[in-house]
Each structure stands twice: as C-alpha cells, then as structure tokens.
Amino acid sequence: MAKYRKRSPVPVYAVAAVWLLWGLFGPLYRLHHFLLAAAVSAGAFLLMKKLCPDRTIVLPEPEPQPPPAEDPGIAALIAERDRALGEMRRLNDSIADPRLSVQIDHLEAITRKIIAHVVEHPQKLPQISRFLNYYLPTTLKLLNAYDRMDEAGVAGTNIDGAMGRIETVMDTITAAFDRQLDALFGDIALDITTDITVMEQLLAQEGLGGMQLGQ
C-alpha cells in the first residue's frame, strides 16, 4: 500500500483570515499591534490544526501489468538474425581467403543493421521479405559451398570454377545488401527532404533564404 500525508489548508486560511480582519478592524500602526496579531494568528493556526488535522491517504498498489505480447513475426526475425549471424561468423573463421573474409564481415554488419531497423519499425517487415527468404539464405548457401570446396583441398576445373564464380558474385551480393539497408531509410529520407523544403520556403518568405548563420 502507498501512503501519503495530505495537509489540511484550513489552518493557513485561518491565519489569513485573522490578518485580514485585523487589518480591517484592528490597529496596525505600532509594533505591539503586529506582535498581538501574530500571536492571535498563531493561536488560530494551532486551533484549526487540532480541529482539522492532516489526513493520511492510503492508495492501493497498482496491479502489475503483463509485459506486451511479442510480435511473433519479430520474434521469428530475431531468431533468424541470431542463426544467420552465427553461421556467418563460423564461415568467416573457416574461410581463409582474406578478401572474402572482409566481405563476410561487411555482410554480417549490414545484416545486423537491417534486422535491428526492422525490429525497431515492425511495419517494415514486409519490405525485407525477399531479403529474408532468398538473398540471405542463398548467400549462406553459396558461402557454405565455397567452404566445403575449399576444405576439399583439391584443384580442378569444377571446384576452381565454382569457387571463382562465388568470389566474383560476392561483390554483387554485398552491393545488394547495402541497397536493402538504404531502401529501409527511404521514408525517413523523404520526411527529411520535405522538412528541408518547407524550411527553405519559410526562410525565403522571411527574407532569410541563402543567408549564412551569424550574418
């Protein structure tokens, strides 16, 4: 239970009433007049304090609210993020090619940013459906194939050709991941552009357009 003390305003009103009545009907031109008025007001305060004491109010504790239900789509997205990032880290540790390793690092960082943005803005989940259902799993599939062929330790037309194609397509995949992240900020960029346009119009109306700060 929560308790708090509610002070009665009546004693304060009584003091104010004493001084008001004294000022209207009593003398207030000598020091002892003020001292007498102060004594009477103090007595009125103590009397009203006794007649109208403070009250203690008890409030019930607020009922605990259940945590908000987690969106199942976002929960699945977070689980997929953890799985994909874990797989990228494993592949990066296993694949020795330094250029490919840098690209995997980049893909991991961009994937983390894409999913973090959608977790924060769940309404954008449909925007990354192709990314989740094709781009991300296909990228992991290609990297796993590269890792297996690399571990085989055998040079050959098929292995070397396939690994070379994967190395080449990684540039395109990296650019596609970057574009996916950029697309998620399309609405924010539009809002910013609109705000800037309105600001420029208002500044022009005020005769401030094109001026530098401090002029």
For the stretch 67-109, pLDDT in tens is 555 688 899 999 999 999 999 999 999 999 999 999 999 999 9
CB proximity list for 7: less than 8 A, separation 6 or greater: 54
pLDDT single digits (tens) 153-195 = 777 888 899 999 999 999 999 999 999 999 998 877 777 888 7
Q: Which residue has the higher pLDDT, 149 or 34?
A: 149
39/15 same-domain check: yes
92/166 same-domain check: yes
96/180 same-domain check: yes
Residue 213's pLDDT is 42
30/89 same-domain check: no
Residue 90 and residue 144 in contact, taking contact as beta carbons nearer than 8 Å: no
Question: 64 lies in a domain?
Answer: no
Percent of the chain with pLDDT over 90: 46
34/97 same-domain check: no
Burial class of residue 188 in the structure, from the number of CB atoms within 10 Å of its CB (0-12 exposed, 13-18 middle, 19+ buried): exposed
CA distance linking residue 176 with residue 155, whole number of Å: 30
CB proximity list for 66: less than 8 A, separation 6 or greater: none
CB proximity list for 125: less than 8 A, separation 6 or greater: 73, 74, 77, 118
100/180 same-domain check: yes
CA distance linking residue 120 with residue 155, whole number of Å: 47
10/92 same-domain check: no
32/92 same-domain check: no
**Number of domains into which the chain is organized:** 2
**Sign of the alpha-carbon torsion through 105, 108, 114, 116:** negative
Candidates 164, 107, 98; CA nearest to 140 is: 107
Residues pairing with 55 in the sheet: 6
- Quote the DSSP letter at residue 153: T
Residue 151 and residue 124 in contact, taking contact as beta carbons nearer than 8 Å: no
135/36 same-domain check: no
The boundaries of the domain holding residue 42 are 2-59
Residue 25's pLDDT is 80
35/135 same-domain check: no
